[in-house]
Amino acid sequence: MRKFKAIVRYQMVDILFSMSVFFIVFAACFGLGWAIIAFAGEGGTPFKGMYLWMCVFLGLCGGISYSIDFKFALQCGVTRAQAYLSTALSFGVVALVFALVDQLLLAVLPLWGEQSIVALYGEGYGPGLLGFAWTLAFNLAIVFLSYALVVLHGRVGKAPFLLGLLAFGLLAFVLVPTVFQVVPGAADAAGAALLPALGFT
């Protein structure tokens, strides 16, 4: 248990440091972007969706954790279950902090309304418990999905993994659009079933 606590503490310190660096760079880019727009006046073009950069961080966090933190934890003598649990806890912290920051900025900074993930799935959620819960779930899905893909790559090997990605790409971007084109009402039926389940209104 002592080794497990040490690994958890190490991962938490590491992820909090990485998030601190990210937020410093993120705040500088956000401030610089709005400063340029303010200087350009009405000729400036507003930018949107900066929360997507947080999504990129989440994806990198999930992908790198297996190749670095998980293997380091095993080398330190903890069990695989403890290593997975420690990694999951660090993922939960990142997802929670990003969701809290998003909701805080929505509440105190009107300019953030165009940058938040809320702008993608509708303002019906907005600031508040429901919006926080949706954003937290969204963050967790990204970080755990990226982690799962890296683990799958390590388990099945490079060639089967690439073939799987190719098959998924053909299914998502060729077969499904073709079905939607040739089957009347298929796209509307799929949208009516999937969008509410995903939280889109």
Give the pLDDT of the chain (201 residues) as one tens digit per residue. Answer: 777 777 778 777 887 888 888 888 877 877 777 777 667 655 544 566 677 778 888 888 877 776 677 777 777 777 888 888 888 888 888 889 888 888 888 787 776 767 777 656 655 666 678 778 888 888 888 888 888 887 787 777 767 767 776 776 777 667 777 777 777 777 777 767 766 666 665
Structure pTM? 0.73
Burial of 85 (0-12, 13-18, 19+ CB in 10 A): middle
How open is the CA angle 155-68-80, to the nearest 5 degrees?
Answer: 60
The domain ranges of the chain are 2-155, 157-201
Identify the three-state secondary structure at position 83. helix
